[in-house]
Structure 1
Amino acid sequence: LALGADLEMAAQGVLSDAPEGGNFVAPTLFAGVNASHALARDEIFGPVQVIIPFEDEAEAVAIANGTEYGLVASVWTENGARQMRLAKAIRAGQVFLNNYGAGGGVELPFGGVGKSGHGREKGFEALYGFTTLKTVAAFHG
């Protein structure tokens, strides 16, 4: 992954009280990331985050949906109507509102859309992958 000269490393580091020894990959925050950059469009398996400014909801949704992946998203706003609009518009398997993390217990389905997964784990939705729906209509006349 070529980062390019246009990126600005906004922050990087490991907590000062991290255990001695061991190997750590320092979490890194990048600014100046264009929505078409690989850091914004690809799944980066590491502690990497990007800052992409936007002007309005439509642009935010276009950025969020401008990738082939859609595992998890998070929306941060005090406006409840905006939370619901964005949660509906963003293509992701899970959308967190004003929080982020492992979603719920075993009863809440988990899985992505696009190249982030097929089907769901956990909950009743996960069982549907092991079943086949059949309709039987009988005439009793």
Structure 2
Amino acid sequence: SDAQVANIPMVAQGQIVDEAPDTGFYQAPTLLRDVPVMHRLAQEEVFGPVLCAMSFRDEDHAIELANATRFGLVAGVWTRDGARQFRMARRVKSGQVFINNYGAGGGVELPFGGVKSSGYGREKGFEALYGFTALKTVAVRHG
């Protein structure tokens, strides 16, 4: 695997449940650490149960790492500091930011979508309706 080639330490790996159907394709949840910022695991959207942990020195370095990819679908900020929560959420280039939680957020009322190479526009919510409408201006002179 790429992790072994790059000597990326595997911190933990889960298991695939015994009840999983034989006809499926499954990947055990995996936690990796010290992933180099330019490694493909840090640069590509991994749609699977893989978490790449990267240490950072300070807020600026964390933002540099988070924004050092051409993707920007979803991000997570974990901190007890209320001011830091919103400061970091504002700076990270992502279509959706979770603070102290992570996952498919909300119902149909919350817009969802990415930025950069992760997409354009929004699904769900009023923002999604704009993609199905066309604005027209009609100017009438009376008199």
> 2:55: which partner in 1?
53
Code of the residue aligned with 1:123 in structure 2: it is G
SS of match in other structure, 1:109: coil
> Cα RMSD between the aligned structures?
1.8
TM-score under structure 1 length normalisation: 0.90
SS in 1 for 2:28: coil
Question: Residues 59-79 of structure 1: CA distance to partner in whole angstroms, max 9, x if unpaired?
Answer: 111111111111111100011
- Find the aligned partners of 2:112 and 2:52 in 1 and give their Cα distance: 24
1:85 counterpart = 2:81: no
Deviations 1:56-98 (A, max 9, x none): 1111111111111111111000111111111111111110010
Cα distance in 1, alignment partners of residues 75 and 101 from structure 2: 10
Which TM-score applies when normalising by structure 2?
0.88
Task: Tell me, in whole angstroms, the C-alpha distance in 1 between the residues paired with 2:139 and 2:90.
Answer: 36
Residue number in structure 2 paired with 1:2: 2
Within-5 A mapping of 1:25-64: 25-64=27-66
Structure 1 stretches (4+) deviating beyond 4 angstroms?
Answer: none
* Equivalent residue pairs, number: 140
The DSSP-based 3-state class of the residue aligned with 2:130 is helix
Q: Given the alignment of the two structures, is residue 19 of structure 1 paired with residue 19 of structure 2, yes or no?
A: yes
- Which stretch of the first structure deviates more once superposed, 35-44 or 21-30? 21-30
What letter is aligned with 1:69? F
The 1:2/1:124 distance shift into structure 2, 3 A limit, reads: same
Residue type of the partner of 1:19?
A: E
Q: Percent same amino acid at aligned positions?
A: 57
* Pairwise CA distance, 1:21: 4.7
Q: Does 1:97 align with 2:92?
A: no
Q: In the alignment, which residue of structure 1 is the partner of 2:130?
A: 128
Output the CA distance in 2 between the equivalents of 1:43 and 1:35: 13
The AA in structure 1 aligned to 2:57 is: E
Q: Distance in 1 between matches of 2:137 and 2:57?
A: 49
Counterpart secondary structure, 2:76: strand
Secondary structure of the residue aligned to 1:19 is coil
Segments of 5+ residues of structure 1 without an aligned counterpart are: none
CA distance in 2, matches of 1:94, 1:18: 34
Alpha-carbon offset, residue 44 of structure 1: 1.3
